[in-house]
Amino acid sequence: MNIITLANLKGGVAKTTTAINLSIQLREKRKRVLCMDLDLNNNLTDFFLRGVREEELDERNIYHALLEQKKSRLVCMRPDFRGLKYYRRQYL
């Protein structure tokens, strides 16, 4: 398993754009991809899960998986991009 992390405290350096394009390209090569949006702006979430109701997003996020120890399959979401799995962060 390979892990790719995109992180930078400065805004506007193409973290989200890179994450979107990289994850889609890896899926096209039939790789398994899990995206985790831990950014306060939730831009990656806005791109991949724009059609999901806010209530569902609030109930299924990384907070519940980590602190409430819910099974990851219960909080992991599958966007319309075939084969992608996705975790959304929770505002605290």
Residue 84 parent element (H or E):
strand 84-88
pLDDT (mean) for 60-78: 78
CA distance 22 to 14: 12
Mean pLDDT of the chain: 82
Confirm if 60 and 54 have CB atoms less than 8 A apart: no
pLDDT tens digit sequence for 19-57: 999 998 998 898 888 888 888 888 888 888 888 888 888
CA distance 84 to 15: 18
State pTM to two decimals: 0.75
